[in-house]
Amino acid sequence: MEKVFSVTGIVPADEKRLVKVEESIGYKFKHLPFLLKAITHRSDARDDTADSFLGNYENLEFLGDAVLSLVAAEALIRIDPKEDEGLLSQKRSQYVSKDFLADAGRRIDLSAVIKVGNDVKKDKDKQLPASIIADVVESIIGAVYLDGDLNAAKRVIHNILGELPSETKEVGQDAK
């Protein structure tokens, strides 16, 4: 049975953040609390009532990581079905790497919308740490998957991350 969060946890300030994210990823959520959870760091998570928004992005990040890995693997197989598994793993690892995800998150200005507590520091350019930005990219993918379906997640992945790398960077060992 699908559990849908009520919108009682969304305040007007959050609505502006959510609209900005929806516009930047090219997806309109049916259940905005999924997106609110996806952009909320544990330092800002709240548990006001049993009916309101609960938690932070961490479990959506877990799901988004799996969805992203699946989508990248499928796309790579479709591009070159005869490709060596080691090279496929290297290409996929580039596409799902924290650095690549953080760069993509910066391009759509996620630092401006991620909800963090006062104890999380931004750098001189008002950017959050790369690890948080990358985690939120994955959590947004997970939220889109739950709110929509795999095809919606594929579209958002393409919108946020762009094309798969056609060439691999030199890596020392098997990306696995």
> Which positions are annotated as active-site residues?
65, 138
Q: What is the largest CA-CA distance in the chain?
A: 53
Reported as type and span, the H/E element at residue 7 is none
Number of H helices and number of E strands within the chain?
Answer: 7, 0
Q: What is the DSSP letter of 148?
A: S
Q: Measuring CA to CA, which residue among 29, 9, 43 is closest to residue 114? A: 43
Q: What is the DSSP letter of 95?
A: H
Q: Which residue has the tokens 């009682």?
A: 8
CA separation, residue 38 to residues 12, 79, 87 (Å): 17, 30, 32
